[in-house]
Amino acid sequence: MDRVAIIVDKSLNNGEVANVAAILMGQLAVNYLPVYSNECIIDKSGFQHSGIMCNTIVLKTNKTKLMKFCTSISDGDYQKQIITIIFTREGQSLNNRFEEYMRIIKSNSLFDLHPVGVALAGKEHIIRNLTSKFSLY
């Protein structure tokens, strides 16, 4: 994987954007990608630094375009070439209630949920092509 793009709902406040981006990036790192190096990178002062290995960008769009984008990816030609992870308003509202969150997600389709962010990972040219219409957050 060469590039990660996280697209968020532009109506979110800065704290919510940071939260959504962190959750999506964390899920990518846990389940799918060698996003971070296993090697500790320590500077001369003894501080550890992030070992990010993928070019990562955070972009924004409105709710309607975000939903349309999420559904278009599932129908598109790129589905097998990229990794896609979605986070929803329902997830944001269920603080420390994972079992309830899991039940809600599993019992609804995307059309019944309210995406607030989506992470894409894949070859740089594919991710750039898919996300070129969004603006930098």
Q: SS3 of 48, please?
A: strand
Give the model's confidence band at 1: pLDDT under 50 very low, under 70 low, under 90 confident, else very high: low
Pick the CATH number of 3-136 from 3.20.20.60, 3.40.1490.10, 3.30.1860.10, 3.40.50.300: 3.40.1490.10
Residues 9 and 88: beta-carbon distance below 8 Å: no
H and E: helices and strands count for the chain: 5, 7
Q: How does pLDDT run across 11-65, given as a tens digit for each residue?
A: 999 999 999 999 999 999 988 767 888 899 999 999 999 999 889 999 999 999 9
CA distances from 61 to 14, 24, 70 (A): 14, 16, 12
Q: Return the domain boundaries, the chain.
A: 3-136
